[in-house]
Chain A
Amino acid sequence: MELGTVVFYLVAALVVGSAAMVAFSRNIIYSAFSLLGTFAGVAGIYVFLGADFVAAVQLLIYVGGILVLILFAVMLTHRITDVQITNRTAGIVPGILIVGIFLALLIQTIRETPWAKAKEIVYTPTSAKIGDLFLQSYLLPFELASIVLLAALIGAVVLARKEIKG
């Protein structure tokens, strides 16, 4: 067994385990911190796939931004009733059922599909290429994305403003 394989499986286990924690944990704080584990694991997966820039971005934004945001929100709304396992509309059982079926379908699909393979797999630094693409082919989406961020920023401020003013 190669080292790479083992590491992969470890990282994968991290990801899956954290995700499971997020899904099944009763305590919302635990869920939130498990999310941290998930994000980190995913970053590791990216590294595996040779996407260095993306991994860095992942850590920066997801862990540093989104996760913090979520924790803030959890703290701010913590007072009320905690997570409950059963929902009113559908319980765990139907959920597991459906999701299980879905998973099975997906896996089957993935296995049966003849994916096209590249001739050669190279590990190169991607930052330069990504930068080029952002300013050439994907210039428009890039700009639009920045506008979206601006809009989200303003929107979030507007939505949450009342809290401060009262």
Chain B
Amino acid sequence: MEHPIQTDYLRWIVLLPLIGAALNGLLGAELQKRIGKWWISLVACAPVIVAFGISVAAFVKLKALAPEERFLIDRAYSWLTVGSLHVDVSFWVDPLSAVMILVVTGIGGLIHIYSTGYMHDDKAYWRYFAFLNLFTFSMLLLVTADSMLLMFIGWEGVGLCSYALIGFWYHDPVNTRAGNKAFIVNRVGDFGFILGIFLIFWTLDKQGHATVVFREIAQNASLFQGQMLWGVPVATLATLFLFLGATGKSAQIPLYVWLPDAMQGPTPVSALIHAATMVTAGVYMIARLNILFSMAPFTLSLVAAVGVATALGAATIALTQTDIKRVLAYSTISQLGYMFLGAGVAAYAPAVFHLMTHAFFKACLFLGSGSVIHAMGGEQDMSKMGGLRKYMPKTFWTFTIAVLAIAGTPFTAGFFSKDEILWQAFSSAHGSVWLWFFALVGAGLTAFYMFRQLFMVFFGESRADHHTQGHLHESPPAMTWPLIILAIGSIVAGYIGLPGVFGPNLFAGWMEPVIAEVHEAEHSAAAEYGLMALSVGVAATGFFIAYLMYYRRTLSPGRFASLAGGLFYRLSYNKYYVDEFYQKLFVEGTLKLAAVGVWIDRYIIDGIVDGSARLTVFISWLEGLFDNYVIDGMVNAVADIIFWSGAKFKKVQTGSINGYLYVVLGAVVLAIIIKLRYAG
């Protein structure tokens, strides 16, 4: 931890996609016209693949180091120095970010290749890839940033690209609304995130260690002990704010509502952003700052509670959905809930492990559904599908493997990661039986709705109309090869994280330098086996019920649907009316507030302005009066006085000579008298 190794190649992991994005963004339209789409594909995919290569190299380098020394850093540029704040543009790779960059570049690269097939007929091909690269750049920045400020740039960047890509087909207002919703809801979370950053910086600055660099925050974490603000420990407050940001980005309660709508975007986008990478940013952030979270038990409990509630709630909604992507969206929300559950019981490594395995099978599921939609000519309603097994074998098999993984079938990756979380929920010092129980129920539901989807889409008779049936076909290799690779990963990736009872947990060991010391509660191996068996059993039950309902058709879904007068069904199908609630409360509330503002502006403020204008006019009118009567009066009076005195003096002109003489004589007499009296 003391001496991170300096490098200068890490920056290229982040910058190569940026260059790709710039090229495609600025010149893409022209290039596409002149050279062709293959050039766009090259410019877009090459950087990501090369970045993956560099990530592997970094990973190898890290592995060669001793565990305590596993830190690579690349200080690219000194960014800003303001007061006591000093931030560089620096990228670092430690075990945690190594996992992340491998996932992002690896799965991201596969999705880029898949997109060349899926988006083949789209006119705005270049724009898609420009944003996809930009997104990759932002996400890589997010996970390799060595300071919270730099991470926040990436945080915002992925939000922006998410908005741009969800609303990619912007001519349809439904898509743009979905994009807006994603961005706005994210913004609410980002507000919390920023407050978290401020609190952390402020607390550290107060004690002389001003920094936002992760490493230094971790080193000085003890400074958070005992610091209070508004009667609450600062660590708790900061982590609560940061968690708010995480709920926005990672679609947890209460800020999850944007994710289902985000399915309006192209399916590869859903795969990349809303399954494998962006939505995991929240989990990454908590894992990154795990020291701080471990100092705030209240926040951890909240995180776990929210996580399990989200996991269970989203699963219940997924039961009744008929859009193939919606099911997967709620499934994503639910699985993210598991990750947060893991983080909430201080099982940070298992949470990140599940993040990794989930990336594989969820991406596989989304890309598979994309393949199905592509074959169905754009149809996404599962009730119109069926029997696709015959037409799309590769898609079918990869999809099945991914479903097995997500359901937690033993020996798939999903089994290992999800099970570890369930075990930690039960056994960790921060865990509880209830957390485990609800998570278990959620797992059962997960198995059910995933198999339901599998059966509805691929088995039975095709319910599509004849025209569509006519051109059902397997997808091109550009699309099927990534599926295959991901499916393999869905099985294999789990073996690096074996539970303690089976063998060495390579993953946990790898992550150890990053995770602070957490007190482990001791439980017996027997308990672990028992729990494992229970979860397998629950998953099997889910499978069985789905099998009966949608394959054998012996159990009628209708009977369950009409339970309690259809109330449960309706609640589930309508997503518990949360969207409507938000709309009424926040959206319309804000609009009404705006209307009040308009009213104030129009009547009060404009009233004041008009009033002052009228007052000015009135004063001028008074002045006019004053001018007319007083000033002019005075001027006229002067003239009148002159007239009047002139009239009086006119009388002197008598025309009488005698009179004049008298006057002259009188004056002379007077003059002489005066001279005699006063002179000499």
Contacts and interface: CB of A to CB of B under 8 A. Distances in A.
A88 interface: yes
A98 B669 contact: yes
Interface residues of B, number: 12
Contacts of B662: 89-90, 94-95, 98
B673 interface: yes
Given A89-B659, A89-B662, A90-B659, A102 B654 contact: no
A90 B658 contact: yes
Contacts of A105: 669, 672-673, 676
Nearest to B665: A98
Given A94-B662, A98-B662, A88 B656 contact: yes
Interface in B317-373: none
A85 interface: no
A101 interface: yes
Contacts of A124: none
Contacts of A101: 669
A109 B669 CA distance: 12
B664 to A, nearest CB: 10
B658 A87 contact: yes
Interface in B632-680: 654, 656, 658-659, 662, 665-666, 668-669, 672-673, 676
Contacts of B666: 98
Contacts, number: 30
Contacts of A108: 676
B300 to A, nearest CB: 125
Interface residues of A, number: 13
Given A88-B656, A90-B659, A102 B673 contact: no
A94 B666 CA distance: 10
A108 B669 CA distance: 13
Contacts of A98: 662, 665-666, 669
A109 to B, nearest CB: 8
Nearest to B659: A89
A98 B666 CA distance: 7
Interface string A104-116: 0100110000000
B234 to A, nearest CB: 113
B409 to A, nearest CB: 145
B656 A89 contact: yes
A89 B665 contact: no
A99 B654 CA distance: 21
Interface in B515-548: none
B665 A102 contact: yes
A4 to B, nearest CB: 33
A84 to B, nearest CB: 12
Contacts of A102: 665, 668-669
A99 B661 CA distance: 12
A98 B661 CA distance: 11
A109 B673 CA distance: 11
A98 B668 CA distance: 10
Nearest to A89: B659
Contacts of B665: 98-99, 102
A101 B662 CA distance: 13
A33 to B, nearest CB: 24
Contacts of A99: 665
A88 B676 CA distance: 33
Nearest to B662: A90
B518 to A, nearest CB: 133
B208 to A, nearest CB: 111
Nearest to A112: B676
Nearest to A90: B662
Contacts of A94: 662
A88 B668 CA distance: 22
A83 B654 CA distance: 21
A101 B667 CA distance: 12
Contacts of B673: 105
Nearest to A108: B676
B141 to A, nearest CB: 117
Contacts of A88: 656, 658
A29 to B, nearest CB: 22
A83 to B, nearest CB: 13
A145 B475 CA distance: 146
Nearest to A104: B669
A102 B672 CA distance: 9
B677 to A, nearest CB: 11
A89 B666 CA distance: 14
A89 B669 contact: no
B24 to A, nearest CB: 118
Nearest to B656: A89
Contacts of B668: 102
Nearest to A101: B669
Contacts of A109: 672, 676
A105 B658 CA distance: 22
B658 A89 contact: yes
Contacts of B672: 105, 109
Interface in A54-91: 87-90
Nearest to A105: B672
A21 B673 CA distance: 30
A105 B677 CA distance: 12
A153 B672 CA distance: 38
Contacts of B669: 98, 101-102, 105
A108 B675 CA distance: 13
B294 to A, nearest CB: 127
Interface in B201-254: none
A106 to B, nearest CB: 9
Contacts of B654: 89
Nearest to A88: B656
A87 B672 CA distance: 26
B353 to A, nearest CB: 136
Nearest to B673: A105
B472 to A, nearest CB: 139
Contacts of B676: 105, 108-109
Contacts of B659: 89-90
Contacts of B656: 87-89
A94 to B, nearest CB: 7
A93 to B, nearest CB: 12
Given A87-B658, A89-B654, 6 more contacts: A89-B659, A98-B669, A102-B665, A105-B672, A105-B673, A109-B676
13 contacts: A88-B658, A89-B654, A89-B656, A89-B659, A90-B662, A94-B662, A95-B662, A98-B665, A98-B666, A98-B669, A102-B665, A105-B673, A108-B676
10 closest pairs, A vs B, by CB?
A: A89-B659, A89-B656, A89-B658, A87-B658, A90-B662, A105-B672, A102-B669, A98-B665, A101-B669, A90-B658
Interface of B: 654, 656, 658-659, 662, 665-666, 668-669, 672-673, 676
Interface of A: 87-90, 94-95, 98-99, 101-102, 105, 108-109
